[in-house]
Structure 1
Amino acid sequence: MTRYNFLLFFSAVIVFFVSGCDANFLVDSNMSMPARNWSYENKVKAVIDVKDSNKPLNIYFKLRHTADYRYSNIFVLLHIKGGGSAKQTKRYEYRLAQPDGQWNGSGSGNLFTYTLPLLTNYKFAAPGKYELEIEQNMRDNPLKEISDVGIKVSEQGK
């Protein structure tokens, strides 16, 4: 391979990797749970700076659990604070497994991963800083075999 071909190949690889990155995520955070136990006190938080309240956003709940997770579902609370508005709270239930016990998430070994929609095409009331907070809302405290929880926010259509 000539030096010119090598440089051309190397440049193409760099362009491929850079263009593969999605810069449209405003937030993409994860929090590891100590000893795979998600307690009520371990709320996952993210701050978003909304510059244009007319631009719709998608907010996702990210979850990773082991195959030893005891339930086929999970309940979570989403709290939104900021922007001069009163705190909003909404409860969500997600089905994590089929009736036959097959996990719905993508698996890698003993871990199953989900990116679940909380709010889609959502417009904040006004520009400003908002705090998003997710807490587990199951009867068990701590909720065992949850390894990671996160929040992802992206622009609509991204």
Structure 2
Amino acid sequence: MRRVSLICICAVFLYGCNSNSVHKDLVDFDNYEWAVDDTQNFDFEIDDSTKEYHINYLLRNAIQYPFYNIYLKSVLKDSAGNVLMDGMEELILFDQKSGKPKGDGLGDLFDHRIAAAQYKKVKFPYKGKYSFELQQNMRPDPLVGILSIGFEINLPEEKAN
């Protein structure tokens, strides 16, 4: 129990270290299993539609996760349910050759903050409410070894003069 508490505290610090973060959301899975039909829906608000934003995937997996990668389907919608962007991306969680885990680890758990390639420069059309959906697109159902999934929206880093 102490180990789980320590891991949770470290994860909060890891995911909380981004000062450019506009929104961040994570959901935990019971029994470290993510079912194919278990689409995760996240609601958020954008206060400034004049800026470009970057989206990162946040994922926590166990060392026992049986694949080196995960395919995620994502959908970005406005408040009326209109699809603004959608697609599928492959996230690499382990080195393909060595099997060494990527991400930041503590014990047998690994936290990943991976830039979403298709959401690198997102311009939201207006201020207001939006939703972001994530669904795993792997063959096993349920997919074991995934502890949590989420995303964060960031402002781009300002360049020094």
**TM-score if structure 2 supplies the norm length?**
0.77
C-alpha separation in 1, matches of 2:18 and 2:146: 27
Match of 2:114 among 92, 113, 116: 116
Asked if 1:107 corresponds to 2:109, the answer is no
C-alpha separation between the residues in 2 aligned to 1:65 and 1:85? Answer: 30
Counterpart check, 1:96 vs 2:97 = no
Counterpart-to-counterpart distance in 1, 2:20 and 2:110? 25
Structure 1 window deviating more from structure 2 (117-126 vs 106-115): it is 117-126
| Higher alpha-carbon deviation: 125-134 or 40-49 | 40-49
Alignment partners' CA distance in 1, 2:74 and 2:153: 13
With 72-81 and 36-45 compared, the bigger mean Cα shift is at 36-45
1:28 paired with 2:24, answer yes
Deviation (angstroms), 1:23: 5.7
What is the SS of the residue equivalent to 2:121?
A: strand
Q: Aligned Cα RMSD in Å? A: 2.1
Does residue 133 of structure 1 match 2:133?
yes
Change (3 A) 1:22 1:67: closer
CA distance in 2, matches of 1:102, 1:21: 24
Identity among equivalent positions (%) equals 26
Q: Distance in 2 between matches of 1:26 and 1:156?
A: 11
Which stretch has the larger CA shift, 52-61 or 77-86?
77-86
Q: How many residues are aligned here? A: 139
Q: What displacement does 1:48 show? A: 2.2
Shift of 1:53: 1.9
| TM-score normalised by the chain length of structure 1 | 0.78
Higher Cα radius of gyration: 1
Do residues 47 (structure 1) and 57 (structure 2) align?
Answer: no
In the alignment, the residues of structure 1 paired with residue 66 and residue 32 of structure 2 have an alpha-carbon distance, to the nearest angstrom, of: 13
CA distance in 1, matches of 2:115, 2:150: 12
> In structure 1, what is the equivalent of residue 69 of structure 2?
73
Question: Which residue does 2:7 correspond to in 1?
Answer: none
CA contact (8 A) 1:83 1:125 kept: no
Q: Deviations over 1:57-103 (max 9, x none)?
A: 11111111111100011100111111557313210001111111111
- Equivalent-residue separation in structure 2 for 1:84 and 1:125 (angstroms): 13
